[in-house]
Structure 1
């Protein structure tokens, strides 16, 4: 766009013809008004994608997100120092999710073509690197894995998230669920992966996010939760709640809320009867709420998280889900 500034000769011509010459201040004001109008069109919240509601929670406490855009990611192959004896291909992957870059490790079994894929969510405080022992075990079974560094390393602050929820801002836990959904999109986009054969697996707190993600993404064939359970909010009578908004928020982050909408995806739990972090009784309560298809396996070690005794059950259920 060019801008025309009348010269002295034109001013004289305009004056002789009886046409009034606009004053510079009037021209400047008009120009500024045009700029303000353009700015208003471009940045009006109703026209801004940033103003699109990033999440919703139903009256019954079910979380949902708008349709996701195509995944944006970068990958580069790195040395596998976590399982050096393996011949897997290991890639460092970064993908965009809600304006942040999420780091992940993509492990692909050697000589695999169109491999089934698993989104792997570690427990709270566990990094993607520390989860490579389980990822390597899954690779031996023939499955590729995408293991995330979850926000805050999977740690949560329910009180803070409730404050954000009440303020109309996005709780961190919602962003963590969305990261898992985006991870499934990213995994499906990898050329070595069969996008028709995807599942999600989580340990401890990662298992909770895994249940929510599986319920919200019908492309996932099933979810396996290791040493995990819901919070039991369904046992509370809503009529007795003093703070309905708090109840709705807690329902929205409780895996138990999503069990009725999980099928046809299969729900699998593997838990120790002597788990010293999340009790076996809590796991049994969650399993009782789950709908078919479902399966539960118990081990006896006094531990929390994956153990080698769980391997046969893990291999059996993954074969059912993805082969």
Structure 2
């Protein structure tokens, strides 16, 4: 551009704006526009990764996730201070899920090397308030039966705030309970790629609230051979007539976290419940209703202790069903 043409442009600017804009101001405005553009590209939700915005809920209340990315994790063999008398191998595994690091313990049976195809594996979800360390008692029992376990520290140690999650759901923000289900799915992915594990022989077990997440995870991951719920049940939303619900979005959210919603999608994965007639937290009647809704293949076993969670009397049933599922 020559100086003459440049002068004409400047005069047009003067005529239209009434004054000349200082060059530093022009440069500053240009820089700000570029900065805003870059910010928009970086923080545009449409550019979010799989682990950020990846969930949908159907009108009927069924949760689904977009395709999961390859698992990213670190593994370190550690001393088994929880059961030092055990000959198991224990590893601390930290894996990525929803932008967070989930801590877990992988327990490998002492004889896992005896199988060239690898050990059958179980993702183990503790009940609310129970850490991965506190769940090692059951993990050791499963190890004695010949099964490797990956036990998670669930978000909030398995506790849920349903009312807060409803607010998030209505705002199109992922509820924490959805993230907890996703953590279980990522744990399955992590377990499947461990060199000591047979990825074709995997199942999931959950106690209490962990059992609810386990059912959802099994319904969303068809590679699992089955799910075993210990002292757990659905929420009973199947009994509610949608026409009687004042808040349809609240109802849709409750449906999306209710194991009962997913029972019809479980087959051919097997559904197993182990419950006490005298459970002190989740009434036996609720477990019976959930079991009645489930499709074959399914099985239910009952014990009598007035307690909640795994007991030694459940061991024979657990051993029987795992042998049917994974051996």
Residue equivalent to 1:219: 223
Residue equivalent to 1:202: 206
> What is the CA–CA distance in structure 2 between the aligned matches of 1:111 and 1:308, rounded to whole Å?
23
1:93 CA drift (Å)? 1.0
> What is the CA–CA distance in structure 1 between the aligned matches of 2:214 and 2:60, rounded to whole Å?
20
> What is the CA–CA distance in structure 2 between the aligned matches of 1:51 and 1:155, rounded to whole Å?
22
Residue equivalent to 2:188: 184
Residue equivalent to 1:47: 47
1:56 CA drift (Å)? 0.9
Aligned positions, number = 309
Residue equivalent to 1:102: 102
- Residue 248 of structure 1: SS of its match in structure 2? helix
Residue equivalent to 2:112: 112
- Residue 317 of structure 1: SS of its match in structure 2? helix
> What is the CA–CA distance in structure 1 between the aligned matches of 2:45 and 2:246, rounded to whole Å?
34
Q: Answer whether contact 2:50 2:67 (CA < 8 A) is retained.
A: no
1:47 CA drift (Å)? 3.4
> What is the CA–CA distance in structure 2 between the aligned matches of 1:169 and 1:230, rounded to whole Å?
24
1:53 CA drift (Å)? 3.4
1:19 CA drift (Å)? 7.2
- Residue 49 of structure 1: SS of its match in structure 2? coil
Q: Please say which of residues 265-274 and 20-29 is displaced more in the overlay.
A: 20-29
Residue equivalent to 2:244: 240
Gap change, CA 1:298 and 1:58, over 3 Å in 2:
same
Normalising by structure 2, we get a TM-score of 0.89
The equivalences for 1:2-41 within 5 A come to: 20=6, 25=24, 30=30, 33-34=33-34, 36-41=36-41
1:66-116: CA deviations, max 9, x gaps?
111011111111111111111000011111110111111100011313000
After the TM superposition, list the runs of 4 or more consecutive aligned residues in structure 1 that deviate by more than 2 angstroms. Answer: 17-54
Gap change, CA 1:44 and 1:271, over 3 Å in 2:
closer
- Residue 314 of structure 1: SS of its match in structure 2? helix
1:250-296: CA deviations, max 9, x gaps?
11111000000011100000111111111111111110000000000
Q: Answer whether contact 2:51 2:99 (CA < 8 A) is retained.
A: no
> What is the CA–CA distance in structure 1 between the aligned matches of 2:226 and 2:91, rounded to whole Å?
25
- Residue 299 of structure 2: SS of its match in structure 1? strand
The equivalences for 1:34-183 within 5 A come to: 34=34, 36-49=36-49, 53-113=53-113, 114-183=118-187
1:28 CA drift (Å)? 6.1
| Structure 2 residue 258 is matched with structure 1 residue 254 | yes
- Residue 231 of structure 1: SS of its match in structure 2? coil
Q: Please say which of residues 123-132 and 159-168 is displaced more in the overlay.
A: 159-168
Residue equivalent to 1:314: 318
Backbone CA RMSD of aligned residues: 2.1
Q: Answer whether contact 1:45 1:51 (CA < 8 A) is retained.
A: no
Residue equivalent to 1:229: 233
> What is the CA–CA distance in structure 2 between the aligned matches of 1:168 and 1:111, rounded to whole Å?
47
> What is the CA–CA distance in structure 2 between the aligned matches of 1:212 and 1:312, rounded to whole Å?
25
Can you give the 5+ residue segments of structure 2 that lack an aligned partner in the other structure? Answer: 11-21
